[in-house]
Amino acid sequence: MSGTTASSPGGTTPPSPPVKTVRLTVAQATINFLGAQHSESDGVEQKLFAGCLGIFGHGNVAGIGQALLQAELEEPELLPYVLGRNEQAMVHTAVAYARMKERRQTWVVSTSVGPGATNMLTGAALATINRLPVLLLPADTFADRSASPLLQELEQPYAGDVTVNDAFRPVSSYFDRVWRPEQLVPALMGAMRVLTDPATTGAVTVCFPQDVQVQEYDWPVELFERRVWHIARPLPEARVLARAVEVIRAAKRPLVVAGGGVHYSGAVEALAAFCEATGIPVGQTQAGKGTLVYDHPQCLGAIGSTGTTASNAIAAEADLVIGIGTRYSDFTTASRTAFADPDVAFVNINVAGIDAVKQSGLSVVADARETLTALTGLLAGHHVDQAYVDRYTALDAEWEATVAEVYDPGEGEPGEDSEAGRAAYAHEHGLLTQNEVIGAVNEHSDPRDVVVCAAGSMPGDLHKLWRTRDPKGYHVEYGYSCMGYEVAGGLGVAMACPDRDVFVMVGDGSYLMMATELATAVQEHVKIITVLVQNHGYASIGALSESLGSQRFGTRYRYRGDSGRLDGDFLPLDLAANAASFGLEVIKVSTVAELGDAIKVAKAGTDPVVIYVETDPFADGPSSESWWDVPVSATSTLESTQQARVTYEEHKARQRLFLTPPRTS
Ligand SMILES: Cc1ncc(C[n+]2csc(CCOP(=O)(O)OP(=O)(O)O)c2C)c(N)n1
Ligand SMILES: [Mg+2]
């Protein structure tokens, strides 16, 4: 096949030049292609893939695995291979890395067939929901079906061509399967297109049947040339911008809701300039935290169910919400109760149409940085009233005083209904409050260090309380809030930013679910500082359960007792010993001073460290004065549930549909 030419039957057209080809397996061609891909944004080019995370099984060891080995021996920089411990965790690592790199660089993840592949499903959903790029290459059962049924093959009676990998379709931004070598080129091109498209990026899944991976083919050499994928910055339409300007000028109490899209667009400075020029304050989503640093005059901090009282009070009064790069998740909108003005309208700046149209907003489908810069220019001279500035500044100062108090509650009497009383009670029992832990980590970390978290009570408390001093200093995965992201994600953050210390805040429940990548951190000499917060169970869900009348049922890590219920002694889990078994230094602390000292030790070293601290599960963070819609049983024999249902219905009545479009003349 090498060197074939084509000519027309009539013989009048001169023959095309011969196509230069190279004979490689499908797997070798894939690895060579991926190593040559680059992204480009604002003229800066970088490799699209930092490397390939993988776990080999019979589905990929001889195909993709052989190709990776060959690449490592012949061209080590092409696509460096990193062995992970759990397929889901590897996707988290890749996704966290991509987030720190503002979606311009990510990892490939290679797995075996069957369980190795489907272990990635949760990670795929997380990537797609968070709009973060990752390339998943699950192996698949034979295309030629010669040896079926294979080990780990799903034999469905209703279809011969369905495999477990079809489960990736609903959770992927792009899905393809390379049944035969010729399909590789369009599959790879489609994958790159979606990975580098800011509006549709997410998990991109390309399945490789075991037999196809090792088949040979003559590939045009151009396939392996350096290829650069431009990351688009769609510009706002002039007419739409003009309408947005009109709506913003008419607003008396406008509020920006800043989401992750502000970071991905590199719009942090443009946002600050817009807010400083107009005086419009900003509430931040989990992904949008850090878009303004915590002490910026227009920064009201977290918004929504886990927001600050300042953001939420301003949100309740706002007549205009300018959503920038936000998905408006239920945590951001307090399940559609945060924005209470009857005439509230929305302007949504988002590169993704699916987000820009939400809440009946004026839809500006465009890049955040370009749009903000244009708006700042068009709004020159416009500023909100001083009375409004005074109001949000005072609310913000009140919240900052709350943070200062819970960071350092001072001396109190155990049992006293105050932060000092709660802290004193915890100390009496050899525990800290989680608020104190957050305060100590914040105060002993450098401004550029990164805090990482995902699930439990910690993300909400961090959202409210963490003083973010650098745009990239806050990394909480809250699109999927996936227990198990913490350590694996922290690894990805540290790999992406070796010049920053990374603090992984992880609860005992999330640690137990997936601490596996501590082994990978040790293997790769990647320093992460894990703060393991032991409170013997699911404090977050326990508190939620109690507030919903379900009495913390089934949320504590206790023995089944004589009553037949989970109310015996605490389980004797020694998570500090467990962490030490990974070959890590573990420092146990029980006072704020010890915690501070441990952080200093960890920061001074170069190896991963785990700091183990026990906390009081009943000492909650300060209230957001907000709500989250979690339905309560309509009928129950339990009085606690009946009472919770009454409260639920009161909140539910405040839920809004937001169907009114912004009024412009
Ligand atoms: C994979 C996964 N399973 C279940 C949940 C639901 N969930 C959210 S928080 C939580 C408990 C987390 O426990 P822990 O890490 O100890 O944190 P704590 O609540 O004690 O702060 C659970 C079960 C989830 N978010 N992710
Ligand atoms: Mg816990």
Q: What are 517-551's pLDDT values in tens digits?
A: 999 999 999 999 999 999 999 999 999 999 999 99
- Kindly state the tokens that stand for 251: 């607003």
Which atom of ligand 1 is closest in space to residue 482's alpha carbon? 26
Cα 469 to averaged position of ligand 2 atoms, centre (Å): 27
Task: Return all residues near 289 (Cβ < 8 A) that are at least 6 apart.
Answer: 301, 302, 463, 466, 468, 474, 476
Q: What percent of the chain has pLDDT over 70?
A: 98
- C-alpha distances out from residue 313 to 181, 273, 367, Å: 59, 24, 29
Q: Is 507 in the pocket of ligand 1 (CB under 6 A)?
A: yes
238-250 vs 368-378: helix crossing angle, rounded to 10: 60
> What pairing do the DSSP bridges indicate for beta strands 203-209 and 345-350?
unpaired
pLDDT digits (tens, 9 = 90+) for 131-177: 999 999 999 999 999 999 999 999 999 999 999 999 999 999 999 99
The C-alpha R_g of the chain, in whole angstroms, comes to 27
Cα 259 to averaged position of ligand 2 atoms, centre (Å): 28
- Distance, in Å, from the CA atom of 390 to the CA atom of 396, rounded to the nearest integer, reads 10
386-407 vs 309-317: helix crossing angle, rounded to 10: 150
Among the listed residues 47, 97, 88, the one whose alpha carbon sits nearest the alpha carbon of residue 495: 97
Return the SS3 of 196.
Answer: coil
- Distance, in Å, from the CA atom of 543 to the CA atom of 537, rounded to the nearest integer, reads 11
pLDDT at 6: 42
Rounded average pLDDT over 227-255: 98
Q: Name the average pLDDT for the chain.
A: 96
Element (H, E) at 465: helix 457-465
pLDDT level of residue 633 (50, 70, 90 thresholds):
very high
pLDDT at 663: 75
Mutation to probe ligand 1, out of 506, 510, 552 (largest number of atoms < 8 A from CB): 510
Q: What is the DSSP letter of 156?
A: B
- Distance, in Å, from the CA atom of 306 to the CA atom of 25, rounded to the nearest integer, reads 51
> What pairing do the DSSP bridges indicate for beta strands 81-83 and 44-47?
unpaired
Going along 231-294, which residue ranges are E strands? 254-258, 282-284
- Kindly state the tokens that stand for 248: 């913003």
Return the SS3 of 460.
Answer: helix
Q: Is 541 in the pocket of ligand 1 (CB under 6 A)?
A: yes
Closest residue by CA, ligand 1 atom 11: 538
pLDDT at 3: 40
Which atom of ligand 1 is closest in space to residue 457's alpha carbon? 21
Cα 456 to averaged position of ligand 1 atoms, centre (Å): 4
Rounded average pLDDT over 591-606: 98
- Kindly state the tokens that stand for 617: 């599960």
H helices of 472-625, where? Answer: 485-496, 508-513, 517-524, 539-547, 575-580, 592-604
* pTM for this predicted structure: 0.97
For the chain, count helices (H), then strands (E).
Answer: 25, 23
Report the phi/psi class of residue 3: left, alpha or beta, with left for phi > 0 and alpha for psi in -120 to 50: left
Cα 541 to averaged position of ligand 1 atoms, centre (Å): 7
Q: Looking at the predicted structure, is the pLDDT value of residue 7 above 50? A: no
Among the listed residues 432, 521, 538, the one whose alpha carbon sits nearest the alpha carbon of residue 483: 538
Rounded average pLDDT over 500-520: 98
Among the listed residues 270, 248, 279, 284, the one whose alpha carbon sits nearest the alpha carbon of residue 374: 270
pLDDT level of residue 11 (50, 70, 90 thresholds):
low
Single-letter code of the amino acid located at 370: E
Return the SS3 of 109.
Answer: strand
Q: Is 455 in the pocket of ligand 1 (CB under 6 A)?
A: yes
pLDDT level of residue 182 (50, 70, 90 thresholds):
very high
pLDDT digits (tens, 9 = 90+) for 65-85: 999 999 999 999 999 999 999
pLDDT at 15: 73
pLDDT at 5: 41
Contact between 344 and 252 under an 8 Å Cβ cutoff? The reply is no
Give the DSSP per-residue string, 537-579: B-HHHHHHHHHTTSTTTT-B-B---TTSSS-SSBP---HHHHH
For CA atoms 564, 567, 572, 574, give the dihedral sign: positive
- Kindly state the tokens that stand for 387: 């009375």
Return the SS3 of 166.
Answer: helix
- Distance, in Å, from the CA atom of 464 to the CA atom of 622, rounded to the nearest integer, reads 8
pLDDT digits (tens, 9 = 90+) for 102-112: 999 999 999 99
